[in-house]
Amino acid sequence: MSAGLTARGLVRRFGGIAAVDGVDLAVPPGRITALVGPNGAGKSTLFDCLSGAARPDTGRVLLAGRDVTRLPDHARAGLGLTRTFQQIAVFPGLTVGQNVRIGADPGRRGTVRGLLGLPAPGRAASRAAADRALRLFGLEAVRDWPADRLPTGALRMLELARALAAAPRVLLLDEPAAGLDLAQTERLAAVLRALAADGMALLLVEHDVQLVGALADAVYVMADGRILARGPTAAVLADRRVRAAWGGS
Ligand SMILES: Nc1ncnc2c1ncn2[C@@H]1O[C@H](COP(=O)(O)OP(=O)(O)OP(=O)(O)O)[C@@H](O)[C@H]1O
């Protein structure tokens, strides 16, 4: 049984277009894996298939060796899979702290655990997870602010903190550095490295080639729905063909 997240032969079509066209991918624990490629390559659609927001037409998604292909996103979340989105969405009437607590809320995560007979994490554990996430992303000073008053970079940090508060085993990050300044990007990189060192499986879609080079252990390059290249980061990024297809900044 393989830990982390695995995709086998995923296909997702929109009309005549195969946005994801036979993708095999492994997101192992303790590693940072990057998914790169030009606009329209199919990265977000692949993320949707992995997270459960979309069903693949064919292929399978395995979470810690278990077939979750037919489980919806909230059920996969209950099994330890969390994702963030390119478009940041916060609950506007709530504070920063309340938004992060929602990520840690056992009520939102308990359903599948309950079905499987696993104990739901207690409120105290959830609060501790939320506090830790706020601290990691430097949001303690603004925890009582209305979330919708945060500037873009801090909003992105909030979304990451909320994802982390769910204590996922697998974390999918869709352009996590978009809108971050240099200091925030460095903070993000340090947190992601620490999470991987702690055993989490991380997959990120990222356009910033320098960040991918500094952060990722392995890279998948996607174009026209297919995986064009894969392998250790240095080898993949050194491939001129890859850089040309990627168009990364
Ligand atoms: N809901 C949809 N209906 C029809 N076509 C779609 C839909 N979602 C995506 N597509 C098409 O699928 C292809 C892949 O899109 P996708 O958004 O997954 O790419 P991407 O690599 O994430 O791009 P970007 O980097 O711009 O976010 C594109 O041709 C897109 O137009």
Is the Cβ atom of 44 under 6 angstroms away from ligand 1? yes
**Which range among 117-121, 204-208, 227-231 shows the weakest confidence by mean pLDDT?**
117-121
Cα 94 from chain centre: 23
Checking if the pLDDT of 205 tops 90, the result is yes
Strand intervals (E) in 56-196: 58-63, 66-67, 81-83, 170-174
The beta strands (E) that lie in the chain are given as 5-14, 17-27, 32-36, 58-63, 66-67, 81-83, 170-174, 201-205, 218-223, 226-232
The finding on whether 249 has its CB within 6 A of some atom of ligand 1 is no
CA-closest residue to ligand 1 atom 12: 19
Residue 221 forms beta bridges with which residues? 36, 229
* Whole-complex ipTM: 0.96
Spacing, Cα 181 to ligand 1 middle (Å): 27
* 80 band by pLDDT with thresholds 50, 70 and 90: very high
Q: How far is the CA of 224 from the centre of ligand 1 (A)?
A: 10
Q: pTM of the entire structure?
A: 0.89
Report the Cα 1 to chain-centroid distance in Å. 22
- The percentage of the chain sitting over the pLDDT mark of 90, rounded to a whole number, equals 72
Backbone angles phi, psi at 158, to 5 degrees: -60, -45
Is pLDDT at 8 greater than 50 in this prediction? yes
Tell whether ligand 1 has an atom less than 6 A from the beta carbon of residue 118.
no
User: Which residues are CB-neighbours of 130 under 8 A, at least 6 positions away?
Assistant: 97, 100, 101, 103, 104, 161, 165
Q: Residues 108-153: pLDDT tens digits?
A: 544 444 444 444 555 666 788 888 999 999 999 999 999 999 999 9
pLDDT digits (tens, 9 = 90+) for 88-110: 888 888 999 999 998 876 555 44
**Mean pLDDT of all residues in 11-33:** 97
- Residue listed under structure tokens 């994802």: 163
* Mean pLDDT of the 43-72 span: 96
Interval between CA 20 and ligand 1 midpoint (Å): 9
d(CA 214, CA 9): 29
Residue nearest atom 16 in ligand 1 by C-alpha distance: 42
- The answer for residues whose C-beta is within 8 angstroms of residue 73's C-beta and 6 or more apart is 51, 52, 53, 83
CB 144 within 8 A of CB 55: no
Atom index in ligand 1 nearest the CA of residue 37 equals: 21
Q: Which atom belonging to ligand 1 lies closest to the Cα atom of 48?
A: 18
